[in-house]
Amino acid sequence: MKVAYGFFSFTEITDPAQHAAYNAWHQLDHLPEQYPLAGVVHGQRWVSTPACRAARAVNGARLDPVHYVTCYLMAEPIDRTLDDFFALGGELRRLDRFFEARHAHLTGPFLVADAVAAPRVRVSAEAVPFRPNRGVYVLVEELAAGREAADTLLADAGVAGVWTFATNPDVTSPRWSAGARRITMAWLDDDPLAVAARLAPLMTERSGVELAGPFETITPWAWDWFD
185, 110 in Cβ contact below 8 A? no
**Is the pTM for the entire model greater than 0.85?**
yes
The CA-to-CA distance between both ends of the chain, in Å, stands at: 41
pLDDT by residue, tens only, the chain of 227 residues? 899 999 999 999 999 999 999 999 999 999 999 999 999 999 999 999 999 999 999 999 999 999 999 999 999 999 999 999 999 999 999 999 999 999 999 999 999 999 999 999 999 999 999 999 999 999 999 988 778 899 999 999 999 999 999 999 999 898 898 889 999 999 999 999 999 999 999 999 999 999 999 999 999 999 999 99
Could you tell me which of 72, 88, 125, 106 has the C-alpha nearest to residue 175?
106
Q: How many domains does the structure of the chain reveal?
A: 1
180: which residues sit within 8 A by CB, 6+ positions away? 142, 143, 144, 167, 169
What confidence score (pLDDT) does residue 149 get? 94
What confidence score (pLDDT) does residue 198 get? 98
Q: What count of other Cβ atoms lies within 10 Å of the Cβ of residue 83?
A: 13
Domain-embedded: residue 77? yes
Query: In whole angstroms, what separates CA 152 from the centre of its chain?
Result: 19
Instruction: Give Dmax (Cα) for the chain.
Output: 48
Domain-embedded: residue 65? yes
What confidence score (pLDDT) does residue 145 get? 75
Domain-embedded: residue 223? no
Could you tell me which of 52, 88, 44, 49 has the C-alpha nearest to residue 70?
44
Give me the phi and psi of 181, to 5 degrees please: -135, 160
CATH number at residue 74: 3.30.70.100
Burial readout 60-69 (b: 16 or more C-beta within 10 A, e: otherwise): eeebebbbbb
Domain-embedded: residue 222? no
What confidence score (pLDDT) does residue 177 get? 83
Domain-embedded: residue 225? no
CA 214 → CA 92, 137, 158, distances in Å? Answer: 31, 4, 12
What confidence score (pLDDT) does residue 146 get? 76
Range of the domain at 159: 5-217
What confidence score (pLDDT) does residue 71 get? 98
Domain-embedded: residue 195? yes
